[in-house]
Amino acid sequence: MLLRLFALAVLALPLAAPAAQPAPKAASARVTSPDGRIAVDLSSDPDGRPIYSVSRDGKALLAPSHLGFLLADTPKLDRAFAVTQPRTRSFDETWEQPWGERRQIRNHYNELRVTLKETAKTARRLDLVFRVYDDGLGFRYEFPQQASLPQLNIREELTEFVLAQPATTWWIPAGEWNREEYLYHRTPVEEVGIAQTPITFKLANGTHLSIHEAALIDYSGMNLTRVEGRRFKALLTPGLDGVKVRRQAPFNTPWRTVQIADDAAGLAMSSLILNLNDPNVLGDVSWVKPMKYVGVWWEMHQDLKTWSSGPRHGATNENVMKHIDFAAKNGFGGVLVEGWNVGWDGDWFGNGDDFSFTRSYPDFDLEKLSAYAKSKGVEIIGHHETSANAAHYESQMEAAFDLYQQVGVHAVKTGYVSDAGEAKVIGADGKRHYAWHEGQDMARHHLKVVTEAAKRHISINAHEPIKDTGLRRTWPNTIDREGARGMEYSAWGNPGNPPEHEANLVFTRLLAGPMDYTPGIFGMKTRAPDGVATTWAKQLALYVVIYSPLQMAADLLENYEANPRPFQFIKDVPVDWEDTRVLNGEVGDYVTIARKDRHSDNWYLGAVSDEEARTLKAPLAFLDKGRKYTAQIYRDGDKANWKTAREDIVIEEREVTSADTLTLKLAPGGGQAIRFIAR
């Protein structure tokens, strides 16, 4: 015998008959987006559990969904709340990104805040805050300082997201905890298992949603587990032990975000995640420099060189100088060098204790190479592979950054390769503990890296990172990261990245922020069974489609030297943008994006397809009215096909104006890249 309603009636008036009890009258409040289309309703169920629901144009998107916490060794914090009078406010400002996919971002929302206080003796309190934008919403829990709840030991967050409509869903699994590098699943919502975020839904009525989080600071990363039907619950990444988050009040959780748009293109235009982060705290960040780079890297993935020392060592003075010369000649700002430091010769994958972040291999002279690079107007991009041994890294990190600062390295690629083992962190007890990539300890670690780097004017490009939640707004030296299957899977993956991969990324992973995807491959045969499964034109298009402030030209230098005409686009394309327009797209199928250079009047366009040939219309209304542009077009040739003719590219020019509409013919696995030079 157990029934919630029955039991509660007994609770409320134990002497009376259960049937005689009316349900408690639920408090409720509503907040809408500035344009009035999105409405969030907050109320409570008969148990006094807070529930929220979301609709748009009167159509339900999220059905009533519960909120709350499971705390360690103390009752759930999720019900029997008294609710204060809701407080609302509006906010509207436009702020400027120091670098980014657009210069100006409007932060315009209506906010609803309620204070919940337990009616039980414990009388614990928390605030629920909803911010509703035209492009979605964020909500978070805020814990004030209070005697009845001085310390939060969170075992699980009970936040639910109940989809109100059937939906197609794009997602990658969670549960291994140290991996983000999966191929995307496309399934009905009812077939999702445990998913990482961002998770993207196309609802039955065509509306697109993406659930993610913003401002993941000193907290555990959120995954979603589908309990049944279309009901998802938050699943926080495990911590050292079963307490997933330890915080002292006052504190706020990260924002739980739901980006909402009429179509996939609208979703990719959203700035919600950034808006929900705090403004820049670093002041002048002109030292954070978006740039293109080449590197001692693809040759290792192609098994031509090694990270480790020996006869095939990649990071030699000679090889690095060759790359510096190439970068200088072709206008690239940086040269990444992996495998430069001592530690790659042992069991680095499972351990990381052997890495030195200050000692070079004997055939790599950091000072000399840095000076040589500087003399050529180029910078070395540093590299710190930690194999997720954060404790070991932190023991050397400051010295390592000092060294880079001395020699003039201003960007460092970090790496957290780990699969079998768990990340190691230093706990509050001063000892080493195991931890997961996206647990609270690693959230702290990653922020520590960024703030220590900032002191030395170094930007961080983390690979195998914690997920992106928009912290680049607050710490703009968080310049880039990986966090999804990158191009290297096309070097050796089995399977490699399929043709649909990038059209998935734009509407899933990339909603979280930029990704160092490392495109630009012309040598299409690799150790992966299908090689690089795109056309050349698509490789060029990726420089526009995949936003990355550090954008690599990843291929072997000789492949660029041998193909100067298509390489010209890579030389021309910028990495910092005045504006971005997503012209069209369907998740996992295709996308066309136009971006305006931040430092000229030129525009760039990239379009990519999946395995299907497509003909897309690209109206050029984004161009200045009345102005003439020379369009340098890099398109798939008539026979181009990712399976049979990847190199079939046509490069041509034409005059265009904003009144023109281009017809983009994309080959199977193809794409198109266009540079619009303002006349």
Residues 489-528 that bind a copy of itself (CB under 8 A): 489, 492-494, 527
Q: Please tell me the distance from the alpha carbon of residue 376 to that of residue 321, in angstroms, as a whole number.
A: 10
Choices 285-293, 316-324, 443-451, 481-489; region in contact with a copy of itself by CB under 8 A = 481-489
Gap between the Cα atoms of 273 and 210, Å rounded: 11
Task: Return the number of the residue (206 or 242) whose C-beta is nearest a copy of itself.
Answer: 242
In the set 113, 140, 202, 244, which binds a copy of itself (CB under 8 A)? Answer: 244
Q: What angle do CA 397, 463, 453 make, to 5 degrees?
A: 30
User: Considering the rule CB under 8 A, would residue 14 count as an interface residue with a copy of itself?
Assistant: yes
**In the set 24, 64, 98, 173, which binds a copy of itself (CB under 8 A)?**
173
In sequence order, what DSSP letters do the residues of 41-69 get, joined into one string? EEEE-TTS-EEEEEEETTEEEEEEEE--E
For the window 294-323, what string marks contact with a copy of itself as x by the rule CB under 8 A?
-------x-x--x-x-x-------------
Under 8 Å CB-to-CB from 14, ≥6 apart: which residues? Answer: none
Sheet containing 577-586: give its strands across: 577-586, 590-597, 603-609, 671-678, 629-636, 649-656
**Number of other CB atoms surrounding residue 659 within 10 Å:** 11
Task: Give residues 593-652 in contact with a copy of itself (rule: CB under 8 A).
Answer: none
The distance of closest approach from Cβ of residue 294 to a copy of itself in the complex, given in angstroms and rounded to an integer, is 17
- CA 1 from chain centre, in angstroms, equals 47
| Residue 428 within binding range of a copy of itself, rule CB under 8 A | no
Q: Which of 47, 572, 601, 612 binds a copy of itself (CB under 8 A)?
A: 47
What six digits make up the tokens of 68? 């709350």
Which stretch in 174-182, 270-278, 320-328, 357-365 sits in contact with a copy of itself by CB under 8 A? 174-182
| 187 or 658: CB nearest a copy of itself | 187
Q: Sign (positive/negative) of CA torsion 131, 177, 169, 580?
A: positive
Nearer to a copy of itself, 66 or 598 (CB): 66
- Residues 107 to 146: which contact a copy of itself by CB under 8 A? none
Question: For a copy of itself, which stretch binds (CB under 8 A), given 106-114, 172-180, 203-211, 404-412?
Answer: 172-180
179 lies in the site for a copy of itself, by CB under 8 A:
yes
Q: Give ∠ CA 437-441-445 in degrees, rounded to 5.
A: 85
Give me 316's structure tokens: 């030699």
**In the complex, least distance from residue 155 CB atom to a copy of itself, rounded to whole angstroms:** 7
What's the token pair of residue 628? Answer: 């003439």
CB of 194 to a copy of itself, least distance (A): 5
Q: Which of 629, 633, 519 is nearest to 568 (CA)?
A: 633
Q: Which of 28, 74, 104, 644 binds a copy of itself (CB under 8 A)?
A: 74
Closer of 7 and 281 to a copy of itself (Cβ): 7
Q: Which is closer to a copy of itself, CB of 96 or CB of 191?
A: 191
Give dist(CA 672, CA 657) in Å, integer: 18
Residues 199-238 touching a copy of itself, rule: CB under 8 A, are 225-229, 231, 233, 238
Catalytic residue chosen out of the listed positions 464, 488, 500, 578:
488
CB closer to a copy of itself, 172 vs 674: 172
Choose the binding region for a copy of itself from 12-20, 51-59, 124-132, 440-448 (rule: CB under 8 A): 12-20
Site string for a copy of itself, 377-416 (x = CB under 8 A): --------------------------------------x-
In terms of DSSP H, where are the helices of 408-556? 440-455, 489-492, 501-505, 536-545
Asked if 464 is part of the footprint of a copy of itself (rule: CB under 8 A), the reply reads: yes
Report 522-581 residues binding a copy of itself (CB under 8 A). 527
CB-CB contact of 292 with 554 (8 Å): no
CA distances for 483 relative to 85, 301, 437, 662, angstroms: 42, 18, 11, 34
| Alpha-carbon dihedral sign for residues 585, 587, 589, 591 | positive
- Residue closest to 477 by CA, chosen among 462, 492, 489, 493: 462
Question: Which of 314, 348, 360, 408 lies at the binding interface for a copy of itself (CB under 8 A)?
Answer: 348
488 is catalytic: yes
Contacting residue, 118, 441, 488, 530, with a copy of itself by CB under 8 A: 488
CB of 13 to a copy of itself, least distance (A): 10
From the CB of 422, what's the least distance to a copy of itself, in Å?
7
Residue 362 binds a copy of itself, judged by CB under 8 A: no
Q: Which stretch binds a copy of itself (CB under 8 A): 169-177, 372-380, 397-405, 470-478?
A: 169-177
Residue whose structure tokens are 């195998």: 464
Query: What are residue 614's phi and psi, to 5 degrees?
Result: -140, 150
Q: Fill in the amino acid letter for 316.
A: T
User: Residue from 73, 284, 318, 652 that binds a copy of itself (CB under 8 A)?
Assistant: 73
**Binding residue for a copy of itself, selected from 144, 242, 331, 564, defined by CB under 8 A:** 242
Tell me which residue has tokens 């907290």. Answer: 219
Q: What share of the chain is helix, strand, coil (3-state, %, to 5)?
A: 20, 35, 45
The residue among 408 and 427 lying less far from a copy of itself, judged by its C-beta, is 427
Active site residues: 488
